[in-house]
Structure 1
């Protein structure tokens, strides 16, 4: 999605405007230069993930041990098969593997908010 498209795509614009400008921690989660990468960042009680995959349609899967303990609300944005953005909301527990379908040479972003016990 070219940068100019963010202005006509309110979901992407909302997500980009909500990104922190200061990060407490950045972690490599998985991937390699040939297939893609998953990077996690933390800001206070929120976590953010950026993931990309080179190649054919598939699924990006990665462990969530980087979250620490507890249950987290995941807001996932990815590009769907028709080229539009798809918004997925789900609860995940630390330690499970998160898998998100992606298009060819695709990726996704995730905002993670800790759920109160």
Structure 2
């Protein structure tokens, strides 16, 4: 008996389910059997027997109307968030721009005040 054959397919199936986020404690019996079959198929693939893995998964792929489940389902795609360094850089650039605009606003207010004072001085 090789090391691959001594592995428990139920444990492998449950481990695969846990890693993909499926809680088999609350799952239906058919779902549990499917994940256990996936564990058995993984063991067959480890032996290099693709035909056996396909036979094992056949009952779970032919009776469905929706697309068949994959032996190794893909993780859901997540939105890519920029790295913390990139976010810090954007924050620094934004803060510098706000400071520049605030200084420009204050300078414009000073010009407006001096222009009003000059106009009031001419009017008197």
Q: TM-score range by the shorter chain?
A: under 0.3
Bigger relative contact order, structure 1 or 2 (CA pairs below 8 A, ≥6 apart): 1
Structure with bigger gyration radius: 2
Structure ranking higher in helix proportion: 2
The alignment's TM-score, normalised by the length of structure 1, stands at 0.23
The alignment's TM-score, normalised by the length of structure 2, stands at 0.22
Structure ranking higher in strand proportion: 1
